[in-house]
């Protein structure tokens, strides 16, 4: 069996770094603006660093008195000494560094191109500096969003912004154009489209130092020049706005006054669409932005559910509800007790069940609260539904409660129960549909069936 002592080797190389008399150094690195000298050995740099190996091969260095000279003005001496220690012996200690210093170290390591250390520092920040990342997501993104090496940390920052949009809104006017473009491209940004539009207008006005009076008709000075400047500033963002998801009222009050900064054909289509709600005038098929916390559905299903809930008229675009996850069986425990603890007395809810060993989803909606009263409750606005294939929205079927007095059944021993206890219900870990009594047949299997998971969402009107 071979004998190895890698720790001894690492310790010896660390001694070589800290005591340059052991082997005479032949490299001087000037780090930071004050050009502090740091000594190193070319054979170590060549062997352990792809960056330095390339620099040596290309001759990208100066020589002075027999020493090789490198200049790294963008990296402070403290941070470069940490990087150099990692190059020599594979050791680094981040525990004593503030979050901002770790971020600067990450950027410095990327300049030296040590991918293993880039990955480690990103992972360390995510696990150990969560509060710093949470509070400084925008500032971090401004520094890293144009570099693919930091995609892991970038995604975490964007996730935090989507979870708490106040982080974004409080700093919207300070965003760079490139970062704003990245954020507005997201499907999972859970902001109403009119909120995005209003903030985009304010961002452009702030950038151009234009009066932030909402209606440009009230601008007193240089209206023509200001509108031309606004158009140049904002034109790259117009395709990112999902105008079809803005209500007619908000379009009239907030968007139409700025028609001069938008393409004429777009304005004409939007006017016709908002007057008629006819899809032939809507060329934008993107779903509404949504940060749906679900392992079963995505934002494409939300528009379907919203139309079923709204019921009065079929609408396209603007979604007047938010869907907040209350309960997930696989996460919270698949029991009736936990369901009631998470979901009782929450008002309107949507229940979604993924049937095991299939791609079918079924469920129901009730505007009435769940509880453990043992009562049967009635409303004409509750419904059950089925998607034979959740990836095909065209096969969705919905059925509203008939005049039967048993829309939902509230019992501590059961989870959600729709109908007289037989249309769709949960009991003791399984789901069942024995007959279609209170609701029409929508394709829910007439049997006891297992599920992969089920979720309950609170439905809140905007």
Residue 361 CB neighbour total at 10 angstroms: 24
Q: What is the pLDDT of residues 176-211, one digit of tens each?
A: 999 999 999 998 888 889 999 999 999 999 988 887
Q: What is the pLDDT of residues 335-345, one digit of tens each?
A: 999 999 999 99
Average pLDDT of the residues in 345-360: 97
In this predicted structure, what is the pLDDT of residue 421? Answer: 65
Contact yes or no for 123/152 (Cβ under 8 A): yes
Domain 166-281, classified CATH 1.25.40, yes or no: yes
In this predicted structure, what is the pLDDT of residue 414? Answer: 95
CA 181, chain centre distance (Å): 14
In this predicted structure, what is the pLDDT of residue 308? Answer: 93
In this predicted structure, what is the pLDDT of residue 209? Answer: 85
Topology (CATH level 3) of domain 6-161:
Potassium Channel Kv1.1; Chain A (3.30.710)
Q: What is the pLDDT of residues 394-441, one digit of tens each?
A: 999 999 998 767 899 999 999 999 998 689 999 999 999 988 899 999
Domain(s) of CATH 1.25.40: residues in the chain? 166-281
Q: What is the mean pLDDT of the chain?
A: 89
- Residue 275 pLDDT exceeds 90: no
- Residue 313 pLDDT exceeds 60: no
CA angle 192, 195, 199 (to 5 degrees): 150
In this predicted structure, what is the pLDDT of residue 220? Answer: 65
- Residue 312 pLDDT exceeds 80: no
Tokens representing 409? 């059944």
- Residue 95 pLDDT exceeds 90: yes
- Residue 214 pLDDT exceeds 80: no
Average pLDDT of the residues in 383-394: 95
Tokens representing 260? 């001069």
Lowest mean pLDDT among 7-11, 346-350, 371-375, 452-456: 7-11
- Residue 317 pLDDT exceeds 70: no
- Residue 330 pLDDT exceeds 80: yes
Average pLDDT of the residues in 138-148: 95
- Residue 350 pLDDT exceeds 90: yes
- Residue 442 pLDDT exceeds 70: yes
Task: Name the strands in the sheet holding 414-418, side by side, starting at the edge strand that comes first in the sequence.
Answer: 376-377, 408-409, 414-418, 424-427, 430-432, 448-449
- Residue 315 pLDDT exceeds 60: no
In this predicted structure, what is the pLDDT of residue 406? Answer: 86
Contact yes or no for 335/454 (Cβ under 8 A): no
Of 352, 326, 325, 331, residue with least CA distance to 341: 326
Lowest mean pLDDT among 63-67, 136-140, 187-191, 254-258: 187-191
| Percent of the chain whose predicted confidence (pLDDT) is above 90 | 66
Q: 0.85 cut: is pTM over it? A: no
State the Rg of the chain over Cα. Answer: 30
Higher pLDDT, 144 or 224: 144
Domain(s) of CATH 3.30.710.10: residues in the chain? 6-161
Task: Name the strands in the sheet holding 396-400, side by side, starting at the edge strand that comes first in the sequence.
Answer: 321-328, 451-461, 349-355, 361-366, 383-387, 396-400
Q: What is the pLDDT of residues 144-164, one digit of tens each?
A: 999 999 999 999 999 899 888
- Residue 119 pLDDT exceeds 90: yes
């Amino acid at each position: 069996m071979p004998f190895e002592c890698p720790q001894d080797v690492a310790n010896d190389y660390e001694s070589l770094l800290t005591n340059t008399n052991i082997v005479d150094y032949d490299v001087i690195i000037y780090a930071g603006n004050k050009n502090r000298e740091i000594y190193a050995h070319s054979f170590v740099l060549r062997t352990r660093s792809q960056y330095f190996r390339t620099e040596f091969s290309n001759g990208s260095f100066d020589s002075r008195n027999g020493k090789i000279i490198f200049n790294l003005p963008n990296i402070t001496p403290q941070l470069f000494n940490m990087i150099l220690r990692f190059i020599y012996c594979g050791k680094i200690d981040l525990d004593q560094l503030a979050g901002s210093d770790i971020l600067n170290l990450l950027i410095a390591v990327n300049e030296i191109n040590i991918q293993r250390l880039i990955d480690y520092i990103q992972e360390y920040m995510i696990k150990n500096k969560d509060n710093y990342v949470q509070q400084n997501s925008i500032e971090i993104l401004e520094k890293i969003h144009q570099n693919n090496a930091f995609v892991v940390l970038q995604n975490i920052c964007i996730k935090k912004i989507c979870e708490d949009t106040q982080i974004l809104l409080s700093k919207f006017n300070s965003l760079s154009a490139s970062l704003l473009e990245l954020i507005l491209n997201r499907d999972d940004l859970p902001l109403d489209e009119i909120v995005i539009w209003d903030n985009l207008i304010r961002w452009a006005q702030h950038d151009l130092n234009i009066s932030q009076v909402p209606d440009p008709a009230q601008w007193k000075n240089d209206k023509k020049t200001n509108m031309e400047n606004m158009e140049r500033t904002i034109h790259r963002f117009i395709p990112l706005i999902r105008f079809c998801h803005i209500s007619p009222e908000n379009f009239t009050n907030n968007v139409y006054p700025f028609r001069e900064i938008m393409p004429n054909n777009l304005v004409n289509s939007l006017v016709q669409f908002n007057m008629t709600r006819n899809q032939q005038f809507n060329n934008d098929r993107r779903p509404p932005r949504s940060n749906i916390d679900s392992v079963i559905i995505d934002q494409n299903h939300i528009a379907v559910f919203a139309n079923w809930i709204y019921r009065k008229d079929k609408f396209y675009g603007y979604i007047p509800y938010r869907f907040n996850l209350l309960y997930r069986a696989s996460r919270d425990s698949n029991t009736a007790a936990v369901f009631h603890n998470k979901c009782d007395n929450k008002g309107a809810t949507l229940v979604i069940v993924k049937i095991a060993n299939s791609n079918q989803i079924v469920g129901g909606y009730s505007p009435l609260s769940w509880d453990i009263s043992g009562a049967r409750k009635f409303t004409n606005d509750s419904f059950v539904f089925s998607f034979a294939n959740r990836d095909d929205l065209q096969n969705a079927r919905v059925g509203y409660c008939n005049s039967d007095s048993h829309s939902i059944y509230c019992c501590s021993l059961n989870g959600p129960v729709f109908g007289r206890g037989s249309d769709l219900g949960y009991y003791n870990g399984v789901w069942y549909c024995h007959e279609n009594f209170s609701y029409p047949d929508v394709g829910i299997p007439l049997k006891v069936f297992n599920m992969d998971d089920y979720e309950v969402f609170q439905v809140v009107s905007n």
